[in-house]
Amino acid sequence: MKEQIMMDNTQVSDTKKQPSSKARKRHLKVNEINYSNNLESDYTEKIEALEKSFDYDSNSTCYWSKPELSIFYGTPLYQGASEAQKLALNHLYWVANYDHTAASEASTVHYNQVTAGVFSQISDSYEALCLNLKHEAEQEKFHIHAFQNIGHKTKTALLGKRVMGIKLNKNSRYKKSGQLKLVAKLPEGVKSSLGSSNFQYNSLRYLSKLMLNSETYRYSQYLQDFDKKGEPLTAIKKGYVGVAIPQNLVQFFTFCWGSSPFLACQYYAYRYAGNAVLKNYEYEYSEYFRKLEKDGKCTSVPQTVSHYHFLDESFHTTTSQLIARDMYKDFGKPTTSEQVIANVIFYLMQSGFLGGLPGGLIGSFVDESLIMPLYYRILRSPVFDMSAQDALHWMEKCLCHEHEGFHLQTKYHQRAMKNIGQLASSLDYLWPINREMRIMASGGSISKAIANNVKALKQFSKIAVV
């Protein structure tokens, strides 16, 4: 990692001639400062070292965060759990969230390259920005490896290698219900295209080119490299992109993010939302770490990793905000097509990534039906060793009735909505439903969440192994 930092510093000074101070915009100057600070930090190296030292047994006897960051916190199940079970739920909360974070950061690695391939074609003014995006992508690879390694060791220790399987019928509507709801709200022309088996990869690329402004069209070098190799883009299936956007649309939006300078900037509004959701609970890990350190108490490897990741991600969050809030104005007003695409993306993000209020996983805002397989596996695992019938019974008690966990979740929800809303309110191209975060706001209702869970659990019960 140190070698990478040295190489990046060399590139900043030896590459194309930088524009004069007068030509530089304020946000590009701030980016240079942010990039320089990120290069000088050593948080990624500390995360790498911690990951290599991790073994679960040495970290299994203490909480990795304050107890509220535990799966099923505030539910009747949690209240009756043993101390060992509460510790397991606290550790599995870390695993569940950082599994999602690892998948989201894999998306970041991909889209940093997609968008940098657009910015690099516009002006030398964006060279430092492109180097920053490249450096962030390299950091994310270390983060992903750490999260996956620690998560795998923890899951193996707590849940066992035996697959606590849930048989899902391949044709079951349960697996696709969330995305089907989103697609149903799209215009008829888009829905018919998504449903057509003849709607191929090249058609998506051609459609994006047809819809975008030919004068500002900049097809990302990163995408061009895929084309030269004859390799189609793989649709993102997980993380903050895959959880909210149907796969065919992910490919289409990738071509848009990788062809339009305006839409390349718009992607960072989406990325900022992912940064904000992560920061919403990761801040608590960092504060818990600082408190233990101040009191002279031992800290676990996972919570220390979370602390350093929180510091690393502060640089990335600044990048997202600068590009999403300020840089898009460099390219003039978006065309009607660009504005529509940007708003459809933001709408899907709200609906799929920010539209829920899970009662069993505080800090996440996806539809709780997506988390039910995880809950079921935990209850069937050696941690609780429940029968299928008992697991479903306790899921009903925890997800379909009001309890303390739901009320704590609303506080996290409101804090995240405020942070994301501050950015959204400054984006003049957004429709009111997006600029005012109406979809996320409507998802903050406990009664609505419970009603949705009642329906989802009935459906889930039909496919769970009995």
State the Cα–Cα distance between residues 53 and 42, nearest whole angstrom: 17
The per-residue pLDDT for 202 is 76
Q: Is residue 15 part of a domain?
A: no
16 occurs within a structural domain = no
Element (H, E) at 211: helix 201-211
Q: What is d(CA 275, CA 314) in angstroms, rounded to the nearest whole number?
A: 9
Distance CA 100, CA 243 (A): 10
Residue 200: its pLDDT value, please?
A: 61
Q: Per the structure, how many domains does the chain have?
A: 1
Cα radius of gyration (the chain)? 22
Mean pLDDT of the 446-463 span: 96
Is residue 13 assigned to a domain?
Answer: no
pLDDT at position 99: 96
The predicted model gives 307-321 an average pLDDT of 97
Query: Is 17 within a domain?
Result: no
- What are the pLDDT digits (tens) for 356-373? 999 999 999 999 999 999
| C-alpha dist (Å) from residue 70 to 78, 89, 456 | 9, 5, 22
Cβ atoms 348, 424 nearer than 8 A: no
Indicate the average pLDDT of the chain.
88
> What's the CA gap between 299 and 284, in Å, rounded?
14
Question: Per residue in 56-97, pLDDT tens?
Answer: 999 999 999 999 999 999 999 999 999 999 999 999 999 999
* Alpha carbon of residue 293 to chain centroid: 29
Nearest-angstrom CA–CA distance, 21 and 15: 17
CB 135 within 8 A of CB 127: no
pLDDT at 181 over 80: no
Residue 199, number of CB atoms within 10 A of its CB:
14
In a domain, 81, yes or no: yes
Residue that has been written with the tokens 């035996």 in this structure: 162
Statement: residue 119 has pLDDT above 60: yes
Residue 14 within a domain: no
Q: What percent of the chain has pLDDT over 90?
A: 76
Q: Identify the pLDDT of residue 230.
A: 80
pTM above 0.75, yes or no: yes
Give residue 409's domain range: 2-8+22-463
In degrees to the nearest 10, what's the CA dihedral of 361, 365, 368, 370?
Answer: -100
Grade residue 24 by pLDDT with cuts at 50, 70 and 90.
low
Name residues whose C-beta falls within 8 Å of residue 13's C-beta, 6 or more positions apart in sequence.
none
Q: Is residue 28 part of a domain?
A: yes
Distance between first and last Cα of the chain:
49
Domain annotation covers residue 115: yes
User: Any idea which residue has 């920010």 for tokens?
Assistant: 354
